[in-house]
Amino acid sequence: MSAREVRCTVEVACDESGFVGGSLFGGTRIFAHASVHLDPDVAVELAEEVRARTGAGSDELKASRLNRPWGQPVAHWLCGPDGPLQGRAFVHVTDTRLFGLARLAQVLLGDTPPEGWWGADEDATTWAQALRLHALVAGLPRSQERQILDCARDLLWLTRNRRPRVSIETWVDVVGAVEDILTDAGDRGFVGAWASPDALRRTREYVAAPPRSPLTEPLLPALRWAVQHWSALGDVSVVHDEQSVLTPARVSAIAEELETSRPGRRLAGFVRVDSRHDARVQLADLVAGVVRRTVEDRLAGSPWATDLPIGHLVAEGSPVIEYADDPV
């Protein structure tokens, strides 16, 4: 690049909703990460408009206001397809149950050790295996469903001294108990493969040499998606809500991957801020919260699910089970 050339940099603000802190398969089914590209002055004006419409006063703006019945008109105005954020905000939506099962498949069944910034559907084969296990688990008695999900979580979620929260032998027993109640031979063979000698060997390798970034944090692939998406406009500078998961080493891994996958693009900057001090981050929080609640309600078949169209906001390829975008 000559001295006269100027690199184009796009600054995006990010925040998340539904953070699980590595504890997958818990009460929060959906994790949503929003990235917003707005001029700071425009963001301030939008935030003040939201305050005026919701009566928030000087309080910090939170998505819970827009998710209440009286706040839904404001959510429709802000997040609707004809709203002020059209084309300026996207939300990467993760079904944490599918995410966890896909991570487990990547560890136990995949040939390539996964990285923490990999997407849940990074490998089509392990993603299909996760979907199949998800369907089988959903048909188990509730207590056994909970047992295998909890055990899967604890097998992936390594402690500080690089030990899983459950023994490998316990995982073998839990898988064996599921096999015993399945009537279809194909299903029994499929489930048994998750505790086969090869799967156990891969598990021990994962425990002995875990990846640089943890596999149990959906925030990492969500941030990677945002960086990749906005890099179409130039180098990317990220302003993110304070989040301890985003250590310098983990952010550097995402930056390195960007430079490798998209030569000529780079992560030009990354700063963590208090959301109360940046209107763009507050708006990202609002959008993430509205989308998360909408998807969760629709997946659960809640009678309180809103009719807000959100398909234009949801990132393409988000690892989430299909939901009704615009229910009648």
Could you tell me the residue range of the domain that residue 127 belongs to?
96-208
**Does 130 reside within a domain?**
yes
What are the b/e assignments for 152-169, b being 16+ CB within 10 Å?
Answer: bbbbbbbeeeeebebeee
For 152-173, the pLDDT digits (tens) are 998 888 876 667 777 889 999 9
CA distances to 148, 197, 221, 288 from 207, rounded to whole Å, are 19, 15, 21, 33
**Does 215 reside within a domain?**
no
**Does 203 reside within a domain?**
yes
**CA proximity to 251, closest of 265, 262, 261, 237:** 237
**Does 2 reside within a domain?**
no
- Answer whether 32's CB lies under 8 Å from 295's CB: yes
For 31-80, the pLDDT digits (tens) are 999 999 999 999 999 999 999 998 877 667 888 888 888 889 999 999 99
Please report which residue ranges of 109-193 form alpha helices under DSSP H: 124-138, 142-156, 168-181, 185-192
**Does 159 reside within a domain?**
yes
**Does 200 reside within a domain?**
yes
> pTM value?
0.92
The total of structural domains in the chain comes to: 1
- Answer whether 170's CB lies under 8 Å from 178's CB: no
**Does 6 reside within a domain?**
no
**Does 120 reside within a domain?**
yes
